[in-house]
Structure 1
């Protein structure tokens, strides 16, 4: 399908369209008309969508602000990271993991898989292009996407469809704490943490008890640091495996046969038998079960990979919320004060969509997520789509990518038919003259 021909036709018959294109060319150093969708983000979500589209004969352009694919995995994750779920639940559409990979692939193995995935489907993102603005132009009937390159050069892409694949983890969340400027030690987000080696022998406070916070504490222990863990809220800690299989896989299988509340009860009973009463160690459980809580709030249960044993042994200390920071110490809400050499913020990430997408219907300006809950948040108006915002990991990403490709392919085919009919009509008229 040739969108250049369509734009040329509009230029010839629509003076307002012509004026808009003149404005675009004068305000931007370059303008490119894209025949298929523009995909913003070259992480797993963007790659999966591009592959599904390609398999259906629809080309796409991926814009990526970093210099590599899956930049979160390659540049902002710690060395010991592995997939927390078995590989069969983390595969992207149309290509599985190599048979020799372990059940829980390492960070590097997952990156290798993504790079092989891109090679297989000949996906070549445009790197170092940060999307500064994307807006639907009703006069053109197209999306106008502006990106900025490394030297400040602007590029405008005009496209029929726009796929937002920047995901849930676009920007690190940095909490405000009283006295942050006064603390003399190192304060960093987990996106800048690589290994406990540099903290050997130091007293380190990890803020946040999700999967990352728990695993960073374990990594610090393994490098002979002295970690403490701030637990600010209730948390479900489950064994990574139950009854010889993954807890996640077992849960998915049980949900086929039993209601969610019953499965939650089963998970909690088995967890209590395997892990004991976690509240005794400062890890009180929420009132809602792990699966129900996940569905309602998106909060993921912690899958224990050995951290709980270190908490039980006292190698990792559990601490309450922080009240304020001092020059060499941290004061907690229970009135106690303790000295620390460094603070690691395992406080998660957030979407950055509202900062660049000029659209208020599909995406919430508050949190940058689609307003409609899963499984209906993948499609908006005027050819706008979202992939990777389901709070259901790579499994949700794959579901989104498949739906989006099918929907765009349907539009692609319908518009091709209209174009063919129009072309045949013109040929018939010219032959009769």
Structure 2
């Protein structure tokens, strides 16, 4: 059987998105997956997965599913990690994508070959392909924050946290104001003897429902308005729905609404207002079991959970990309300006649900790969755009200056640019 010219590494949501697009475009491919099943990080049994038992999706089922495969009607507004994993696996089965997946096969390294790429597995097997799509996901390489001093208790990254009962009879400090950090801090508030959350800055906390409607559905329901108008409207709305969050012990945000990744949480104010969770400032240093903060306060804890994010990584092919703030530099978060036959799927940090954007990006890539096969001259025209065009996909949002927001895109802006490219190139929006 002839080896397909296109290889995909990873059978999580992004890998399956491009697989579905290639299948529709009638372009043969193969997927290499290190785990024994599809699902990516949502499969808690997948080695290295950051998933924990109580995890839920932070965007609603209404907007979060694959466009041609909606989530089941009986799913709650915010599905559990088990439901998400089952949904992703059902997507792969429904579109018969599993037949093209080689499971239990981890790609150890990639080498440039005159006709494409040589892929070598951890077992020492080698495969050759002309086109390589890296869809290995973004939440696999923990970013371990460093602090002065030495902590005598347990200190670990949040990717090792699995069960809330791990916090029983302990004093817990969670570090990090992202969605997982806040969720884990709320778990600690329910199970630990004492629970604290250290945050470098204040954030806007958006409840998961507004007037009984999922917040993302509510915000997408109205007309598209200028950024400043949107900020004014939603800040007023948050005052009505939430009130002054500083009265709940939460620090005042040091930036405008929408200038950082949305924090979707309806529990934190319950726990802070009941004294189950106490908010601390940024860490200064450790000494024994004591943690000293930059505001001059200190606490004694047994364990520290570093919910300090992840570094993007393509460990098997890192040398073939240019990097900035642990992010590969890509055109449309997809195309590599350095090499015209290696791509990245799923490295998109955005302010909306990801799977729809994955699908649109996958369609864009499938169109280009089809041109490379059937219309090489047209493919060269697009390749020139990749190497010469500089894009700003922030939508004019002045994002918080942090590594987390390097390469961050506004969902409406990237979708508009996708439509523009499709039109310019005479490509279909679907196959």
Q: What displacement does 1:414 show?
A: 4.4
Query: Counterparts of 2:244 and 2:205 in 1: how far apart (Å)?
Result: 10
Give the counterpart of 1:377 among 318, 333, 337: 333
User: Do residues 231 (structure 1) and 199 (structure 2) align?
Assistant: yes
Which residues in structure 2 correspond to 1:299-314 (within 5 Å)?
A: 299-314=260-275
* Distance change >3 Å, CA 283–CA 66, structure 1 → 2: farther
* Distance change >3 Å, CA 135–CA 235, structure 1 → 2: farther
Matched with 2:102 is 126
Q: Could you tell me whether the CA contact under 8 Å between 1:64 and 1:129 is conserved in 2?
A: yes
Q: Could you tell me whether the CA contact under 8 Å between 1:38 and 1:162 is conserved in 2?
A: yes
Q: What displacement does 1:410 show?
A: 3.4
Q: What displacement does 1:316 show?
A: 0.6
User: Do residues 278 (structure 1) and 245 (structure 2) align?
Assistant: yes
Give the counterpart of 1:156 among 126, 133, 141: 126
Query: Counterparts of 1:268 and 1:122 in 2: how far apart (Å)?
Result: 45
Q: Could you tell me whether the CA contact under 8 Å between 1:331 and 1:337 is conserved in 2?
A: yes
User: Do residues 90 (structure 1) and 51 (structure 2) align?
Assistant: no
Give the counterpart of 1:405 among 362, 366, 380: 366
Report the 3-state secondary structure (helix = DSSP H, G, I; strand = E; otherwise coil) of the residue aligned with 2:218. Answer: helix
Q: Which has the higher helix share?
A: 1
TM-score by length of 2: 0.78
Q: Output the aligned Cα RMSD.
A: 2.3
Query: Counterparts of 2:243 and 2:168 in 1: how far apart (Å)?
Result: 30
Structure 2, gaps ≥5 residues long: 45-49, 377-431
Q: What displacement does 1:116 show?
A: 1.1
Matched with 2:42 is 73
Matched with 2:281 is 320
Query: Counterparts of 1:286 and 1:238 in 2: how far apart (Å)?
Result: 16
Give the counterpart of 2:178 among 187, 210, 227: 210
Report the 3-state secondary structure (helix = DSSP H, G, I; strand = E; otherwise coil) of the residue aligned with 1:326. Answer: strand
Give the counterpart of 1:109 among 83, 92, 100: 83
Q: What displacement does 1:262 show?
A: 1.0
Structure 1, gaps ≥5 residues long: 5-33, 294-298, 416-433
Give the counterpart of 2:300 among 339, 342, 359: 339
User: Do residues 39 (structure 1) and 13 (structure 2) align?
Assistant: no
User: Do residues 199 (structure 1) and 167 (structure 2) align?
Assistant: yes
Q: Could you tell me whether the CA contact under 8 Å between 1:169 and 1:351 is conserved in 2?
A: yes
Query: Counterparts of 2:368 and 2:280 in 1: how far apart (Å)?
Result: 49
Query: Counterparts of 1:225 and 1:352 in 2: how far apart (Å)?
Result: 36
Q: What displacement does 1:354 show?
A: 6.0
Q: What displacement does 1:377 show?
A: 2.5
Q: What displacement does 1:74 show?
A: 1.9
Q: What displacement does 1:194 show?
A: 1.7
What number of residue pairs does the alignment pair up? 363
Give the counterpart of 2:29 among 60, 66, 70: 60
Which residues in structure 2 correspond to 1:19-34 (within 5 Å)?
A: 34=3
Q: Could you tell me whether the CA contact under 8 Å between 1:353 and 1:368 is conserved in 2?
A: no
Report the 3-state secondary structure (helix = DSSP H, G, I; strand = E; otherwise coil) of the residue aligned with 1:358. Answer: helix
Matched with 1:27 is none
Q: What displacement does 1:109 show?
A: 0.6
Q: Could you tell me whether the CA contact under 8 Å between 2:10 and 2:40 is conserved in 1?
A: no
Q: Could you tell me whether the CA contact under 8 Å between 1:370 and 1:386 is conserved in 2?
A: no
